[in-house]
Structure formats: structure tokens, C-alpha cells
Structure 1
Amino acid sequence: MRADRLVSLVLLLRRHGRLSATALARELEVSTRTVLRDIDALSAAGVPVYAERGRHGGFALLPGFRTELTGLSHDEALALLIAGSRRGAQAFGLGSALASAVLKVVDALPEKDRTTAADAARRLLVDPGTDLLARRLETEEVPDTVVSEIRRAVFAGHRLRIHYAAADREPAWRTVDPIGLVTVRDQGYLLATRSGADRTYRLSRVLAAEELDEPARRPERVDLDLAWQERSTRLRTGGDQVTVLVRVDPARREELVGTALAVLSEEADADDRLRLEVAFQDARHAEWALWQLATDAEALAPQWLRTSLRDRAAAIAACYGEFP
């Protein structure tokens, strides 16, 4: 890990020319004290890095210094293969590997192309942290140590022990046979089997993970896209699923559809609204989704959902009826 960090430090200085210890610490996700130790280690190894004092000072390399350290590690190559989704790389614990790989790719370019590519990159922004209404897009945080252990077991074909906190249940250890990893809307999932039955685990609910020496009981080849579709279909057609008839403002349609399991029917309704029949995972899911849309959506059926939303709104209104 430290060797990779030292390479990244050199490449950062080559790319930017001069950076302060604070800026380097931010880029490398370490403390400034660690950066200073790394600078000392580079100097001791003969890398011509020097410090410039003053307000605009920092660390820099002697002009003309080049490295031959652009070989990609396994994780860096993997990160580039899924780099079509920067958030996907983060969901699988490969965010730092992606950043390191990009530095190596940039450094390998001829100087003219390197400058052109850097200028072009500043004209592109993929997956910003907020939308146009300044609403922050939430990304589930999964500790790197956990997702790295899961990733190793998936690639090695080994069984996996996970300490999993299922919704409304106490966390418990379970042994699974991992099949693959999937990311959907910034949420990461582990597809696995347990005692031969298909299971899907949300990565953010895995509290700890341990790769075992035993080989996983799984087919040699897998079609993850097909496996995900089959599990999605079973989820939509089983359990406590509820169907809701909704009138919705067309401007909020995508928000409604984005939270639903499936759209069963859709047609135009009065007042330029849309009438949709949608499926939700359970009653709580349906109430939560409709509450988010306020008066831009109205549940027409079932009646219990209308009653629940009305009682909830009445409780809120009573709470704010008088100024304390």
C-alpha cells in the first residue's frame, strides 16, 4: 500500500508541478505527517523532490525528472475497466485505485497529449455530488476493509463469512457462496447463495467480512445481468408486495417510478396528470414513496394507504398548528 502511495505522490507532483503537503494529503487521503514521511522516503531513495518555502511554496520535482512507474496494478486495471461509472468504482471499494490508475495513464502520455487531455478533462463532469436543485445525491458508505475482503472472495471463488445487519433484525454471522457484485443507483449488492438458495445482500449492511479457504459452491460461469433480472422479478412478484393506483404530476413521474418496483400500467388522466398502477415492496415502502411526493401525487387505491397518508398529514398539521 505504501509503495502505491509513493508512486501516486510522484505522479501527482509530475502532473501539477508543485503541491503543498495539505493538498497532497487530501489527494492521497492520508495525514500531512504521512506525506512528510513519504517525502523523506522518496528523497532517501534518490527521487529529486525538494521543498519551496513561502506562501505559494510546496513540494516539487526537479525539472525533467521522469519515472518508469506507470505499470498498472490488478485493482487499478480493474478500476479502469469499470470506470464508465465513477460511483460504481467507489461502491466496490476501488475509488482510490481508480484515481491512482488515472494518474498513471496521464503520466504515460506524451507531454503535448498530456496537456491536451488535462484541459479536456476539465470540460467534462460525470456524476456530480448534487443535482440541479442542490439536492445531495447520497452514496452508501462501505468500509474499504469490508468491500475488499468481499471482492477478494468473489474473484478467488472462495466462501465468505459476513456479519450482516438485515432490516429490522439483529446482526448475525452467516456463511455464503459469493457469485458477483452489482451496483444500482449508487447502492452496492453482493449476489450469493446460502445453503443452495439465492440471496442478495446490500453491501452497506455488511458490518464485517472474512474470506474463507474453502472453495465456493457456485457455477464456473455466470451471467450477472440475467441473475440480477431473475432476482428482481422474484422480488416484484413475491413477499408482501402491494399494488397502488396513483395520480401524479408528470414532472414528478420519474421520482415515483424510480422508487417503485415496477410500473404495471400507465395512462393520461384529468388535469394533465398521469394515472399509474405501480408495485411497491411492502406497505411501508408504498407510504414512504407517496409521502415524498407531497401533493404532486395522490394515492387513489388502496383505501388503507389513503387513510394512512391522511392520518400522517393530520398529525404533522396538528404539530405545527400553533406557534409554541
Structure 2
Amino acid sequence: MRASRLVSLLLLLQNRGRMTAGQLARELEVSVRTVYRDVQALAAAGIPLYGDAGHAGGYRLVDGYRTRLTGLTADEAQAVFLAALPGAAAELGLGEALAAARLKLTAALPAELRERAGRIQERFLLDAPGWYADADDTPHLAAVAAAVWERRSVVLRYRRWRAPEEIERRVDPYGLVLKAGRWYLVAAGPSGMRTYRVDQIIGLRDLAEEFEPAAGFDLGAYWTGHLAGFRARLHTGEALVRLTPEGARRLGLAPGGDGWTRARVPIESVDHAHGEFLRLGADVEVLEPAELRDRITATVRTLAARYPG
């Protein structure tokens, strides 16, 4: 623990220049007395730092003392800081590790790259979750992540939407994916590779048995294929509609001049399309399928009776 704190103290001085004992104590969450002892330990180890007395004093490193990280371009340095997701790291129990890693990387960068990386942190923020959804409750995420990291088989108790609603399944956890603020587990089981929502895991038992992943498995390639298959299964039908220019714009279609545009659009189901097309109001007319047109007609009549003019 102390060794890690000494490294953090050194990197703080490299990143920020002169700092007082009080500032260092607040950053490291220790007492000023502990900072004094740590500074003495670094000096005894040959680190060229010294302290200035007085109101504007503090500790700093001898000019020019810096560990440099070579081989990174400016764009690469920016990308490293842009890619960091503190929220996701915290959920995995790696929040402190991420903060320490970024501190070390910042300290190691040459001055020019360090300045550009700092501008990235000032001007860009990645916020993964969607607007209209609360954060998922994922009490088993840390245990799942540990099993993924250690390549250990587990038994999941899982809640799903179809019967039986609760199942128990032994799986080999290959990887975790964060998609739109939601965690997914990719795992091999009795029926092949499957994807599980981590927030639907209601129980997990670690079997303490290591497994060997399939040769050549690529998590990124699997996920790309999974998404493509999901979209293909999602849009199983289509509807023929007429759209005003505004309706076409809202559906991401090119308007056909100033008049109505006829288009065939993929739909997930009649139930889902019914709600989606109602949101377009008078900017859409459904022509086919007849079942969908009849559903919308019945809804409009009900609304007209409920809100008489």
C-alpha cells in the first residue's frame, strides 16, 4: 500500500509541479505527517526532490526529472484519454485503478502531448447510458467480471421474458460488453454461445473450475455478428406508408418533393409499429398491412370519441 502511495506522490509532483504538504495530503487522503515521511523515503531512494519553505513553498522535483513514454503520437494520446469510461470502470471495481493509470500515463507523456490530452479531458465527456432509463441494478457484475478475468466456469440463475422465467445454467464466461449503459455477458453454454443481460442475473455460483476458450474466438467479431442477427430478427415485416415531408424527415427518409412520399419501411411487429406510427400523428398514413391500418383506425376513432371537438 505504501509503495503505491509513494508512486502516486511522485507522479503528482511530475504532473503538477510544486505542491505543498497539505495539497499532497488531500490528494492522497493521508495526514501531513505521512506526507513528510513519504517525501523523506523518496529522497532516501535517490529521487531528486526538494522542499521550499515559506508561504509560496512546497515540494517539487528537480527540473528535467521525468519518465517519458515514447512512441505515442498526439492522436494516440488523445484517443487514450477519450476512450476512458470512469463510470464503467467504477462498476467493475476498477475506478481507483483507472484513476491511477491515467495519472501515470499523464506523468509519462512529453509536455506537448500532456497538454493535448488535458484539453481532451476538459472538452469531451463520454456518458454511455441513455436519457430515459435508470441505471441498471447489477449486483453480480463484479463477480461476473472476476469469472471472465480468471476464466472460471459459473452457474447462473437467470431471469428471462419467456417461460420458464427463471433458469439455472452452467456457462463459461468469455467476455463482458457495455452497450448503451447496459452490461451484457457473452458466455458458452450447453446450446452454444449466448448473450445474457447482467442485470437479469439473480444468482451466481463460482465453480472454481478453469475453462479454455474456443480457439480463435474474437469478442468484437462475435458482438458485431450478434447485433446483425438481432436486427435481422427484430425487423421481420414491413409496412407500406404515405408520409408528409415532415414525416419522411422524422423517419430518416428523403422527402419526395412537397407532396406525399410512399415508402416501405421495416417493422418489428404490428404491436410495435402501431405505437411508433401513432407518434408521427397526421404526418403518416399506413396503407399496408391491413391489420396495422385497422389497429390505427380503431385507435384514432377511440381518441376522437374521447376528445370530441
**TM-score range relative to shorter protein:** 0.5 to 0.7
Quote the Cα distance in structure 1 between the aligned partners of 2:270 and 2:13: 55
| Structure 1 match to 2:43 | none
Q: Is 1:286 equivalent to 2:284 in the alignment?
A: no
| Structure 2 match to 1:108 | 108
Deviation at 1:201, TM superposition (A): 1.2
Q: Deviation per CA, 1:24-75, whole angstroms, max 9, x where unpaired?
A: 9xxxxxxxxxx89932398278246xxxxxxxxxxxx94316999999xxxx
State the secondary structure of the residue aligned to 1:182: strand
Larger gyration radius, structure 1 or structure 2: 2
Deviation at 1:7, TM superposition (A): 6.9
User: What aligned pairs does 1:67-216 form with structure 2 within 5 A after superposition?
Assistant: 85-86=83-84, 90=88, 93=92, 96=95, 97-110=97-110, 112-113=111-112, 116-117=115-116, 119-121=118-120, 124-127=123-126, 136=131, 140-141=135-136, 143=138, 146-167=140-161, 170-216=165-211
Residues 88 and 47 (structure 1 numbering): CA distance in 2 closer, same or farther, change over 3 Å?
closer
| Structure 1 match to 2:50 | none
Quote the Cα distance in structure 2 between the aligned partners of 1:41 and 1:6: 14
The residue type equivalent to 2:249 in the other structure is A
Quote the Cα distance in structure 2 between the aligned partners of 1:276 and 1:142: 39
State the secondary structure of the residue aligned to 1:192: strand
Quote the Cα distance in structure 1 between the aligned partners of 2:211 and 2:98: 28
Within the candidate set 64, 68, 75, 2:60 is matched to 64
Quote the Cα distance in structure 1 between the aligned partners of 2:160 and 2:2: 36
Give the CA RMSD over aligned residues.
5.2
Quote the Cα distance in structure 1 between the aligned partners of 2:201 and 2:143: 11
Deviation at 1:230, TM superposition (A): 4.1
Deviation at 1:151, TM superposition (A): 2.5
Residues 85 and 117 (structure 1 numbering): CA distance in 2 closer, same or farther, change over 3 Å?
closer
Residues 239 and 108 (structure 1 numbering): CA distance in 2 closer, same or farther, change over 3 Å?
closer
Residues 292 and 198 (structure 1 numbering): CA distance in 2 closer, same or farther, change over 3 Å?
farther
Residues 214 and 95 (structure 1 numbering): CA distance in 2 closer, same or farther, change over 3 Å?
closer
Please tell me whether the aligned partners of residues 176 and 194 of structure 1 are also in contact (alpha carbons under 8 angstroms).
yes
The residue type equivalent to 1:286 in the other structure is A
Quote the Cα distance in structure 2 between the aligned partners of 1:44 and 1:88: 27
Deviation at 1:222, TM superposition (A): 0.7
| Structure 2 match to 1:275 | 263
Quote the Cα distance in structure 2 between the aligned partners of 1:243 and 1:84: 39
State TM-score, norm by structure 2.
Answer: 0.60
Residues 177 and 302 (structure 1 numbering): CA distance in 2 closer, same or farther, change over 3 Å?
farther
Quote the Cα distance in structure 1 between the aligned partners of 2:36 and 2:203: 38
Quote the Cα distance in structure 2 between the aligned partners of 1:83 and 1:115: 10
Within the candidate set 250, 263, 280, 1:252 is matched to 250
The residue type equivalent to 1:38 in the other structure is E
Residues 105 and 213 (structure 1 numbering): CA distance in 2 closer, same or farther, change over 3 Å?
same
State the secondary structure of the residue aligned to 2:131: coil
| Corresponding pairs, count | 273
Quote the Cα distance in structure 1 between the aligned partners of 2:7 and 2:262: 56
Quote the Cα distance in structure 2 between the aligned partners of 1:216 and 1:233: 28
Deviation at 1:315, TM superposition (A): 5.7
| Structure 1 match to 2:31 | 40
Residues 199 and 119 (structure 1 numbering): CA distance in 2 closer, same or farther, change over 3 Å?
closer
State the secondary structure of the residue aligned to 1:46: helix
Quote the Cα distance in structure 2 between the aligned partners of 1:231 and 1:183: 14
List alignment gaps of at least 5 residues for structure 1.
25-34, 49-60, 72-79, 255-265
Identity %: 23
Residues 268 and 81 (structure 1 numbering): CA distance in 2 closer, same or farther, change over 3 Å?
closer
List alignment gaps of at least 5 residues for structure 2.
40-56, 70-77
| Structure 1 match to 2:52 | none
Quote the Cα distance in structure 2 between the aligned partners of 1:146 and 1:273: 49
Q: Deviation per CA, 1:106-130, whole angstroms, max 9, x where unpaired?
A: 12335x4476235522563144579
